[in-house]
Amino acid sequence: MDLLRISTAGSVDDGKSTLIGRLLYDTDALTKEQEALIEKKTAEKGLADLDFSVITDGLIAEREQGITIDVAHIYFSTNKRKFIIADSPGHVEYTRNMVTGASNAEVSIILIDARKGLLEQSYRHFFISQLLRLHTVVFCINKMDLVDYSEDVFLKIAADIQRMTASFEHSNPNIEIIPISSLKGDNVVNHSSNTAWYQGETLNSVLHQIESEQDIVTAFRMDVQNVLHVQNNEFVDYRGYSGRVASGTITLGDEVMVYPSQKNAIVTEIRKDINLLENAATGDSVSISLDREIDISRGSIITKNNEAIPITEKSIKAKLVWLEEDQAAIGSKFLLQAGSKTVQVRLEQIHAIIPPENPSNLQEASSLKLNDIAITSLKLASPIFLDHYAVNKNNGAFILINPRTNNTCAVGFVE
């Protein structure tokens, strides 16, 4: 059984919570307590259809306001696959949560209200899934019951979606478009006779058919998290560099290049707990030992000698998404963190702000404010050895930390 991480996005009242509730209900993934709660709330509100929103709208404030205000994680599994859904809110002011939810996802589900069609926010949602380079985007045209399950309405919105996706030159994700009603259950898990004109798959079967992301990056990258040093009877002088492989593979005997010290060494041991391994690949948490003592500590990155080298410059160009209320002026200083690597940076230049609803209409700006997406240049106190995000997602993204508040104030993608 494998694991698929999904992010959902939609505007207020597009019915995301209802969709997730429906998905869980129709795949028989809800507990008896949850089913009882749905029935109780439905009766209290005097609704004709089941009220699924009580399952995902977790916090008191949300229940009071009837909206979702933070990323919630929902877990469910079928016989074939395990799913983690990051349910992100869709208000303009909560873009940061959407980026957050999508950052660990492979697939994005975007909800569109059939009565309203594409809204400014739909463009924003799609733009964010492209910014993060998610390989599959599923558009659910929801509330089809409220437009009499009209094929014409569906086709018009589908054409609009195709126009929007075609305007992004640099991405080639899988796009799926499905007419659904979460409230009534059409085409979520079960094929609907109300949309006999629709020959495609249900949402549930699309989610089961998506291929989990293949590791297309070959260059090996591993940040050192801790140096494990042991001297006892069993381990005379053990030195292991622990970390999680960000990309590529490493095999015993490989020659590595460690940054920032730029020293070479040979891999003599790859260990996971008591097990000694021949090799390790993307995602593995291991400890690596080397044949000689070199300058290596937390924040070092291990790469392979005969492979592409990371960026060694002290200046990088990056797209930033601003995540906090405090604005950032040119010249402001931050702490950049990527994996276990950290470095002081200065915001050197803001080349342009990208309006996500119309990405080609670049704007000028002298500072960054909440929810801005910008192309910037950063000056680093010392090189940090990242890769281009388009080449290596796992070593191409970073966060900025505001030294005045310790808050995570931006996420960055190396251009």
Per CB under 8 A, residues contacting other proteins are: 1-3, 30-34, 55-61, 63, 69-75, 77, 82, 84, 96-97, 99-100, 103-104, 225-226, 228-230, 232, 234-235, 238, 240, 242-244, 271-275, 283-285, 298, 323, 335, 337-340, 394, 397-399, 401, 406-408, 411
Nearer to other proteins by Cβ, of 61 and 329: the residue is 61
- Both tokens assigned to 221: 């990258």
Nearer to other proteins by Cβ, of 101 and 185: the residue is 101
- Both tokens assigned to 3: 């694991």
- Both tokens assigned to 366: 């002298």
Shortest Å, Cβ 185 to other proteins: 20
Shortest Å, Cβ 141 to other proteins: 27
Nearest CA to 83 out of 160, 147, 4, 24 is that of: 4
Nearer to other proteins by Cβ, of 37 and 146: the residue is 37
- Both tokens assigned to 217: 């990056």
Shortest Å, Cβ 159 to other proteins: 34
**Where does 15-163 show beta strands of DSSP type E?**
72-77, 81-87, 107-113, 136-142
Instruction: Work out whether the CA dihedral 58, 61, 66, 71 comes out positive or negative.
Output: negative
Shortest Å, Cβ 152 to other proteins: 39
Secondary structure of residue 75 in the 3-state scheme: strand
Nearer to other proteins by Cβ, of 151 and 284: the residue is 284
Angle at the Cα of 413 from the Cα atoms of 407 and 415, rounded to 5 degrees: 145
Nearer to other proteins by Cβ, of 124 and 184: the residue is 124
Nearest CA to 11 out of 95, 71, 89 is that of: 89
DSSP assignments along 275-311, one per residue:
EEESEEETT-EEEEEESS--S--TT-EEEETTS----
Shortest Å, Cβ 188 to other proteins: 20
Nearer to other proteins by Cβ, of 191 and 244: the residue is 244
If one counts every other C-beta atom within 10 angstroms of the C-beta of residue 98, the result is: 28
d(CA 27, CA 78): 7
Asked whether 141 and 179 are in contact (CB, 8 A), the reply is: yes
Shortest Å, Cβ 217 to other proteins: 15
Shortest Å, Cβ 54 to other proteins: 8
- Both tokens assigned to 365: 């700006």
Cα-based distances in Å from 307 to 180, 220, 249: 47, 8, 11
- Both tokens assigned to 249: 């593979």
Q: Which amino acid is residue 205, in one-letter code?
A: S
Nearer to other proteins by Cβ, of 94 and 154: the residue is 94
Nearer to other proteins by Cβ, of 77 and 305: the residue is 77
Residues in the chain: 415
Nearer to other proteins by Cβ, of 233 and 360: the residue is 233
Shortest Å, Cβ 322 to other proteins: 11
Nearer to other proteins by Cβ, of 19 and 177: the residue is 19
Shortest Å, Cβ 134 to other proteins: 13
Shortest Å, Cβ 275 to other proteins: 7
Q: Is 27 exposed, middle or buried (0-12, 13-18, 19+ CB in 10 A)?
A: middle
Q: What is the DSSP letter of 186?
A: B
The maximal CA–CA distance of the chain, rounded, in angstroms, is 76
